[in-house]
Structure 1
């Protein structure tokens, strides 16, 4: 019976898994290389936003959830939940953290410990990077790949509700992995190998990137012809028995912004053309929108230097809510705003003021965002932005236009206030009232 579990990496993946396992009765020992993370968790403070985590930590910390600088001995299982970034410039995978985690497990544990790779990795990483460290220390190993597939904002619920895919080095490893995750999730899907499980995660995320890229391509084409892209999407999807088209929008986060590159690194014999093109489309979109906003502001105001732009929604997504800035559209946009000489006001319901300030924005309230701006750019669809009383906020301000990326504001109220309204691939054909 697997009861005593170590988790290497207390980020989004590792901390939510630790909380989920602890709530299901496991004794969980989390480790992290960052002292500030360990200190915060040991004091009962969650260092990231995820609904339910603070409550889970309160219920389990010091009882059956513990935080350490290194793994304790005699673990039944050790789970690798470290980050797998891509390098700036080359976009090649950086597997340093995975290798370090494998070395730590090999040093602290033994061949009886089930080792689980949970991090997203290029196909072949578990066998090529993790396994050698274990076998060099132990002679043999029990190893599985069980990819994390939850969405930020719903991770604790999805840990139990989503099927858990488990691929093993051998039959004994796979059986142990199935037994472990069978005590956490409603359904476990065993697959034939480590590589199959690795590719499952990449296939899921890259498919999502492809879908969104196609929606964005439609929006750009619709805009070139003066067609409303949302009307196209609604009509195309209406009672049509094929896969739905996605609404256009920005694509960010730690997974979708890097996993296509991990997918590419998994195909040494050829370049995955579709995945690469989709990633390029989604990465170009924020820059194109930033340039469009600057151009429109220049057109309406005459000059941009000294103009004020209020940017609402700095996290990479608004629903489910998150404070995660990884892959956020605003990060790619800020250089264009800086070149244009814009003063950038920043508001986000969850992103801390110091984070907005560190990226070059001036944190403000919603009221101040509207009262001091020449233009307003809405970048995510957080519930706080849905149904904003623009009819009350806009009159008497200097706001010339609103760029509503997710079409969540009331266009008629914006126009009634004498303000131009635009979105991805869409500009109102009617002038403001």
Structure 2
């Protein structure tokens, strides 16, 4: 599409990516509220737009990648050169950038509250590419990195594994994780498994089967709500927690 100037073309790119970033940030802000209210952000998003096309709240989740992590900052910096402040843009980026800290703090508190959670847990990070659909091996700007950094401060003695359906074992190892050849092996014997993107592989195995492979106590934390955990019977000693429903988490006799 032809536009009038190079500046217009560049601004269109920055605006489009920033719009997505701010929209996702609003969804993540609603997820914060739903965590506190002990209701499901996924139910709010899906039911709220059923038959109502003007509302299209996306599901909450990590926001990164080679464009969305930087273009809002570029837009803010460019606007400041013209004497324009962009507080909405800045607030949205701040929400998305602080999400890893908030989730790591939650998981640290959860582990401390669980009787028998080991001092040297095995933790698996699954879905390291910055997005899962469409599938990619692109690690640029992936939110798995800040999540990993924050978790390491809360679990300094943990043993770490990594799994991704597309990313090579060499890249997983360079990430600082021991590669697992399959999702099943990634969760086997783990105390905490963190799903970081929405690659279709994560729904290829039923949630109870995934949880059954874990050590006890075992927690699956799902940033992308890949599973519908309602009315799912989990093995004793395991739990499933998804972003935006911390208070409504599915626990199965976890002390």
Length-normalised TM-score, structure 1: 0.53
1:210 to 22, 26, 32: 22
CA–CA distance in structure 2, aligned partners of residues 230 and 214 of structure 1: 13
Q: Residues 349-393 of structure 1: CA distance to partner in whole angstroms, max 9, x if unpaired?
A: 111112221221111132221212011111111011123233334
Partner of 1:229: 41
Q: Residues 21-57 of structure 1: CA distance to partner in whole angstroms, max 9, x if unpaired?
A: xxxxxxxxxxxxxxxxxxxxxxxxxxxxxxxxxxxxx
Displacement after TM superposition at 1:414 (Å): 6.0
2:211 to 379, 394, 410: 394
Displacement after TM superposition at 1:429 (Å): 5.3
Counting matched residue pairs gives 245
Displacement after TM superposition at 1:297 (Å): 2.0
CA–CA distance in structure 1, aligned partners of residues 93 and 102 of structure 2: 14
CA–CA distance in structure 2, aligned partners of residues 396 and 254 of structure 1: 34
CA–CA distance in structure 2, aligned partners of residues 305 and 359 of structure 1: 23
Partner of 2:94: 280
Pairs within 5 Å for 1:24-103: none
The alpha-carbon distance between structure 1 residues 274 and 396, as it changes in their structure 2 partners (threshold 3 A), is closer
1:290 to 98, 104, 120: 104
Gaps of 5+ in 1: 1-188
CA–CA distance in structure 2, aligned partners of residues 401 and 376 of structure 1: 6
2:224 to 401, 406, 409: 406
Equivalent residue of 1:326, what SS? coil
1:266 to 67, 72, 78: 78
Equivalent residue of 1:411, what SS? coil
1:307 to 118, 121, 124: 121
CA–CA distance in structure 2, aligned partners of residues 430 and 249 of structure 1: 19
Equivalent residue of 1:332, what SS? helix
Displacement after TM superposition at 1:421 (Å): 1.4
1:346 to 148, 151, 162: 162
1:252 to 64, 78, 86: 64
The alpha-carbon distance between structure 1 residues 414 and 338, as it changes in their structure 2 partners (threshold 3 A), is farther
Check the 8 A contact 1:387/1:408 in 2, yes or no: no
Q: Residues 127-176 of structure 1: CA distance to partner in whole angstroms, max 9, x if unpaired?
A: xxxxxxxxxxxxxxxxxxxxxxxxxxxxxxxxxxxxxxxxxxxxxxxxxx
Check the 8 A contact 1:294/1:304 in 2, yes or no: no
Equivalent residue of 2:59, what SS? coil
Partner of 1:193: 5
Please, which moves more after superposition, 362-371 or 249-258?
A: 362-371
Check the 8 A contact 1:394/1:414 in 2, yes or no: no
Displacement after TM superposition at 1:292 (Å): 1.7
CA–CA distance in structure 2, aligned partners of residues 397 and 223 of structure 1: 25
Partner of 2:187: 370
Check the 8 A contact 1:322/1:350 in 2, yes or no: yes
Which is greater in Rg?
1
CA–CA distance in structure 2, aligned partners of residues 309 and 410 of structure 1: 23
Equivalent residue of 1:346, what SS? strand
Q: Residues 318-375 of structure 1: CA distance to partner in whole angstroms, max 9, x if unpaired?
A: 1011111122121002222222222121000111112221221111132221212011
Q: Residues 52-88 of structure 1: CA distance to partner in whole angstroms, max 9, x if unpaired?
A: xxxxxxxxxxxxxxxxxxxxxxxxxxxxxxxxxxxxx
CA–CA distance in structure 1, aligned partners of residues 128 and 225 of structure 2: 17
Check the 8 A contact 1:308/1:374 in 2, yes or no: yes
Check the 8 A contact 2:126/2:163 in 1, yes or no: yes
Please, which moves more after superposition, 235-244 or 198-207?
A: 235-244
Equivalent residue of 1:232, what SS? helix
The alpha-carbon distance between structure 1 residues 238 and 380, as it changes in their structure 2 partners (threshold 3 A), is same
CA–CA distance in structure 2, aligned partners of residues 367 and 199 of structure 1: 45
Indicate yes or no: 2:239 matched with 1:423: no
Displacement after TM superposition at 1:222 (Å): 1.0
Equivalent residue of 1:416, what SS? coil
RMSD of Structure 2 on Structure 1 (CA): 2.0
Check the 8 A contact 1:313/1:381 in 2, yes or no: yes
Check the 8 A contact 1:309/1:343 in 2, yes or no: yes
